[in-house]
Amino acid sequence: MKASKCIALVAHDSKKDDLVSWARHNAGTLASHRFWATGTTGTQIAQACPELDVTALKSGPLGGDQQIGAMIAEGRIDVLVFFIDPLSPHPHDADVQALVRLSTLYNVALATNRTTADFLITSPFFGSAFDPTGGGDGEPASD
């Protein structure tokens, strides 16, 4: 995993404002990374944070979740930030569970809320090369 991470951004409707606010607050830290996001989320983040390289995919229920899942399976995503609303029913819940399952299977760092996302981006591994297979010595690797 290179120092510049490939990050997927997803948020349930009730969490979109939280994710946009988080991205805006951390834009300086995030600016050296590349982003893919589901439809509306990606558009909102790109508008709020023009310094970020954000590619908006399809809306989650219209295939965006599957697009991100495919990118995870292809090894093209290093980090998934998915602000989940655990209290609301979601018609595409199977897609949500698939993203969590794929992140676990392919050893992709996963943050489902702001606190975890903050811990993730403040890790010494976030801005440096890293071997997620554990082949290293636990220290951030150099490029």
Whether 65 is catalytic is yes
Residue 141 lies in a domain: no
Q: Which one from 65, 78, 131, 143 is the annotated catalytic residue?
A: 65
Residue 98 lies in a domain: yes
What are the residues facing 129 on neighbouring strands?
141
Residue 72 lies in a domain: yes
* pTM of the model as a whole: 0.90
Residue 70 lies in a domain: yes
Collapse the DSSP code of 55 into the 3-class scheme (helix H, G, I; strand E, B; otherwise coil) and give the result. Answer: strand
Which CATH number belongs to the domain containing residue 70 in this structure?
Answer: 3.40.50.1380
For residue range 19-77, list pLDDT tens digits in order: 999 999 999 999 999 999 999 999 999 999 999 999 999 998 899 999 999 999 999 99
Domain count for the chain, please give it: 1
Residue 140 lies in a domain: no
Residue 75 lies in a domain: yes
H or E element at residue 48: helix 39-48
- Quote the domain boundaries for residue 67: 6-121
